Chains A and B, each alone.
Chain A
């Protein structure tokens, strides 16, 4: 019974938040609503017994991703109203409704067959985090490592793209060039 209550409550909240995100004309409201929505989604994960996933959701999404978006908003100065040309509302709503209805039909009918097999079954009596750890570091080790490399690459790319004076490489230039650039900088600052 509690489960049903929690489910419907959080479902209602999540949908509301996300609707605000997509329909609002104020960027700040959209951002805040998105952050809230993320938290509520992590609630779902906890209901479903995926504790580790819920914690990761809060830390990564709500913590890191939303912070990054906030920085981005500051950078782009989107506090004023976002001027948007009106797209055709009917197409948008119509297409999305159709898509939703059809997916529901596929799952609920169910049109796709229902015999699915469990490849990595859950073990009872062990906490979720331990189970995740077991599977992640044995069967999914290679994707794990590759994801790590990918995150590294993304980090480097983000720094290079967004940083100042990133076209010069301090480690590859020789000493005179560095000195010369620094002198120019100091002259500009002092004068």
Chain B
């Protein structure tokens, strides 16, 4: 059957929902980052699909920049994670509650 834009968008949504499950569920900070990557990739699929079906290159441009941003975010995030681990010895979310309101 013909694969249309809707198929890709539904796929993107399902992957996004899986990413949401991940970020809600994970208590280890590093694994949380994995789930964030899933979110970003889901969105990239959406962008590329729309770009293909509408004949517009804007979607792919956005996908590029998302990849670039994801990479830099990862670098800084891991650096911070390392500093935290040096100080506290673990990276469990339930112990990081000093920002309590």
Contacts and interface: CB of A to CB of B under 8 A. Distances in A.
A and B in direct contact, judged by CB atoms within 8 A: yes
Contact of B41 (A37, A50, A78, A122): A37
A140 B57 CA distance: 11
Query: For the side of the interface on B, what is the size category?
Result: 35 or more
A22 B22 contact: yes
A22 B25 contact: yes
A4 B3 contact: yes
Interface string A114-148: 00101111100000000110011000100100010
Contacts of A83: 92
Given A19-B18, A22-B25, A135-B57, A161 B83 contact: yes
A76 B72 contact: no
B24 A87 contact: yes
User: Interface on chain B toward A: helix, strand, loop, or mixed SS?
Assistant: helix
A9 interface: no
B35 A50 contact: no
14 contacts: A18-B19, A21-B34, A22-B19, A30-B31, A30-B34, A34-B37, A41-B41, A53-B63, A65-B70, A68-B75, A104-B10, A108-B6, A120-B57, A161-B76
Interface of A: 3-4, 7, 11, 14-15, 18-19, 21-23, 27, 30-31, 34, 37-38, 41, 44-45, 48-50, 52-53, 56-57, 60-61, 64-65, 68-69, 72-73, 75-76, 78, 82-85, 87, 91-93, 95-97, 99-100, 103-104, 107-108, 116, 118-122, 131-132, 135-136, 140, 143, 147, 150-151, 153-155, 157-162
